[in-house]
Amino acid sequence: MDAGQRIQLQPCWVLHRRDFRDSSQIIEVLSREHGRLGLVARGIKRPKSRLRGILQPFAPLLLSWVAGRELATMSGAEPGQGAPHHLRDTRLMSGFYINELILRLTHRFDPQPDVFDRYAHCLQRLSGDDPVAATLRDFELDLLDALGFAPNLTNDVVSGAPVEAGRAYDFVVDEGPHATQTGAGVEAVDGAVLLAMAARDWREPEVLRTARRLLGRAIDLQLDGKPLHTRRVLRDLRQRDYGTGAQ
């Protein structure tokens, strides 16, 4: 976008808000056509600001702005199509988790329509009855795939042969599975688990546990060792509510 360009009523989601000067905030948003960007919402902290109740996470929005070099200036905001997603407890923290993933793994001004659509679908699932863990694993795979970082789950990286159920593989996160004779590697995984992950078949608890571990490592690789704050909170919730479908 060129500085000064006016963008009108684009579908967006709020990812994060932070204070900016006395009465304003910087709103990090995900837009379908313009990617992730930071918008300065002037006067939003004033008691009579109309935007305070509109610019909320997990609510579809139509936003307008004037482009700048680093930050754009918001010029309008309206509710978008569909109702806001009212998330609670673990589902709420899961929503913040996928927001943090997008904030940390995507670049500003890089349009990713597929990420936008997958994000909206994930929120719809989180606000319904779909299991939380399976919903998050699907989104992690979707996001890594859209960004070109999806792990290889289906072929031995040494021989190129298809992964076989019942055979042990050492999983190297930035390469993929290596067939092992002993099954005693650092990250030994049964081929059946890898194939189930590739097929998004989350019926077996072992598949979900392994997916959480392997996809977490794939994400960590892209984060270059920087922690995800929401992941720690979700881990605490999972330990507190073991067996309720936390991340």
What are the pLDDT tens digits along the chain (247 aa)? 677 799 999 999 999 999 998 899 999 999 999 999 999 999 999 988 888 889 999 999 999 999 988 899 999 999 999 999 999 999 999 999 999 999 999 999 999 999 999 999 999 999 999 999 999 999 999 999 999 999 999 999 999 999 999 999 999 989 999 998 655 555 689 999 999 999 999 999 999 999 999 999 999 999 987 889 999 888 887 777 654 444 5
Does 214 reside within a domain? yes
Range of the domain at 236: 89-152+180-240
**What is the distance between the alpha carbons of residues 242 and 247, in angstroms, rounded to a whole number?**
10
Same domain, 51 and 145: no
Yes or no: say if 103 and 36 are a contact pair by the CB < 8 Å rule. Answer: yes
- The model's pTM: 0.91
pLDDT at residue number 245: 44
State how many domains the chain has: 2
Does 191 reside within a domain? yes
Three-state secondary structure call for residue 230? helix
Yes or no: say if 223 and 102 are a contact pair by the CB < 8 Å rule. Answer: no
Does 160 reside within a domain? no
